[in-house]
Structure 1
Amino acid sequence: MPHLIAPDPRVRESFVQAQQECVAEGEASGVTLARELAEYGDSWHTESGFARYLDALREESEEEGRRPEGFVPATWWWYVEGDTYLGRIQVRHRLTPFLREFGGHIGYGVRPTARRRGHATAMLRDVLPYARELGLERVLVTCDASNTGSRKAIDANGGVGEGGQDGTLRYWVATQARIRDGL
């Protein structure tokens, strides 16, 4: 059964394949993937290069850790089934003015060959307790207005719309457990 894990070297091969799928789909222009490809793409395939990448991800979560200029501390989780990488999700520990409009607290992506199977919905649901542990009672999640899959994942997790601009929709999602259907 798929579940969240901390970024782990055991899924390196599958992770690299997933990033190649994203590039083939034309997604290399996204901020995260473009930045990572520029810095780590030539060495992901090696154990030492991948270890360097994982160290950088861990350091991004630390308040005093190294991260790109203007970035806030953020923690990554990977969604895997066995040794198969399915996607990733990030919780940014706080918002900047830019993130309030366009990025939000949470960003996620599912590899192209694993889409339309409910993974984004499950990743978002499963990361909410971690966001709560960071002291976030609710999180801002944004998506492109044209991204039906992401909108469905946010709606399924109780997202409350708050408008948007420039083709970006904004939703707030509570991090506390919800009681649904009398359960």
Structure 2
Amino acid sequence: LRNFNLFRLESTYEIREDIQEAVPHLHSYIGKEGETAFRGWSRMAVPIKEFKITELKQPNIGEVKPASLTATVTYSISSYPAKMKAEWDSLKEHDVLFLLSIRPLFEPLSEEEAEKATVPEKLGLLYVRGCEVIEVADEEGVLMNDFTGRIKRDEWKPPKGNVRTVTVSMDTAQYHMDVSDAAAKGGEDVYSTFNVLVRRKPKENNFKA
């Protein structure tokens, strides 16, 4: 157990480093409508076009957390060069991704404030939630990187367009905590705030959400 805890701490630190490295390149800012917008791009992070919970299964008998939670995340890779598009298009089942809620400050931090600020404050980072890839589809809804046999090898075609929708499973215990917390404190719904999707390099991606 101690080794597992050490591994988990180390993984958490590495994930934080990855987020810290990926997010600033997006150059988030507050748009005219008060929404978070992005003027940059990052190899490992992409703005989310839509996040939607698609299935929430009732808790098993004797439990309070849902039995499972499935969601879809839609994003565009149109601003990426071909090599990076290929990297995003290589996402496959069981890869771990991170959903972030970024809300930058209206005014940039002064030098003095920046020195004292925490990493989340500097990034405008409110929430991070892990998820695991179930499947990825292209702009026309055709499955990509599917190894379950639903798509025969000789029927495979290159993905269409630049919009991708990834179906993910999420941590139901965390979801239950988030929803309960929001209900008790009148807080916001974490799951309506996600606006950035972060991936990790495949060799680093063996940490379950």
User: Is TM (by shorter chain) over 0.5?
Assistant: no
In terms of fraction of residues, the more helix-rich structure is: 1
- Work out which structure has the larger RCO, using CA pairs closer than 8 Å and 6 or more positions apart in sequence: 2
In terms of fraction of residues, the more strand-rich structure is: 2
TM-score (ref. length: structure 1):
0.28
State which structure, 1 or 2, has the greater radius of gyration over its C-alpha atoms: 2
